[in-house]
A = this chain, B = another copy of it.
Amino acid sequence: MKPCIGIGVIGFGTVGSEVVRLLLEGIERPDFGLELKKVADLDIVTPRGVEVPKELTTTDAEEVIESEEVGIVVELIGGIEPARTYILEAIARGKDVVTANKALLAQCGDEIFHAAVEAGVDVGFEASVGGSMPVIRALREGLAGERIERLYGILNGTTNYILTRMEEEGLPFSEALREAQEAGYAEADPSLDISGRDALQKLVVLLRVAFGISASPGEVFCEGIEGITPQDIEYAREFGYKVKLLATAKRVGEGIEARVHPTLVPQKSMLANVREEFNALELVGEGVGHQLFYGKGAGGRPTARAVASDLVSLASRRLSGATPRVGELLDSSGLKLMPVEEAVMPYYFRFLALDRPGVLAQIARVLASEGISIASVIQKGRAEEAVPIVMMTHEAREDAVRRAVARIDELEVVRGRTQVIRVEEL
A contact residues vs B (CB 8 Å cutoff): 18, 22, 27, 29-31, 126, 131-134, 137-138, 141-146, 268-270, 272-275, 278, 285, 287-296, 299, 301-302, 304-306, 308-309, 312-313, 316, 319-323, 325, 327-328
In the complex, the chain B residue whose C-beta lies closest to that of A272 is B273
CB distance from A152 to the nearest CB of B (A): 13
Q: Give the residue of B126, B270, B309 whose beta carbon is less than 8 angstroms from that of A274.
A: B270
Contact, CB under 8 Å: B295 / A294: no
Give Cα A161–Cα B358 distance, bound, in whole angstroms. 48
A351 to chain B, nearest CB (A): 32
Residue of B nearest to A267 (CB): B273
- In the assembly, how many copies of this chain are there? 2
The residue that A309 contacts in the complex, of B144, B309, B313, B320, with Cβ under 8 A, is B144
A292 pairs with B291, CB closer than 8 A: no
Apart from A141-B313, A273-B273, A294-B294, list 5 A-B contacts with CB within 8 A.
A30-B325, A31-B323, A132-B287, A137-B142, A289-B301
Which of B27, B131, B141, B327 has a CB less than 8 Å from the CB of A145?
B27
By secondary structure, the A interface counts as mixed
Name which residue of chain B comes closest to A316, CB basis.
B322
Residues of B within 8 A of A304 (CB): 287
Q: A29-B325, A288-B302, A323-B31 are in contact. Are A126 and B145 (CB under 8 A)?
A: no
A104 to B131, CA, bound (A): 35
- Contact between A142 and B309 (Cβ–Cβ < 8 Å)? yes
Shortest CB-to-CB span from A34 to chain B, Å, is 11
Contacting pair B137 A30 (CB below 8 A)? no
Contacting residues, chain B, for A312 (C-beta < 8 A): 141, 144
Sampled A-B contacts (15; CB under 8 Å): A132-B291, A134-B134, A142-B306, A142-B309, A268-B273, A270-B274, A273-B273, A285-B305, A287-B301, A287-B304, A288-B305, A289-B302, A291-B294, A292-B295, A319-B320
Query: Roughly how many angstroms separate A142 CA and B133 CA in the complex, as a whole number?
Result: 9
A145 touches B320 (CB 8 A): no
A142: B residues at CB distance < 8 A = 126, 132, 134, 137, 305-306, 309
Specify which of B31, B137, B270 is in contact with A141 (CB 8 Å cutoff): B137
Nearest-CB residue, chain B, relative to A293: B293
**Nearest CB of B to A170, in Å:** 17
Q: How far is the CA of A296 from the CA of B143 in the complex (A)?
A: 14
A-B complex: 3 closest residue pairs judged by Cβ atoms = A320-B320, A292-B294, A287-B301
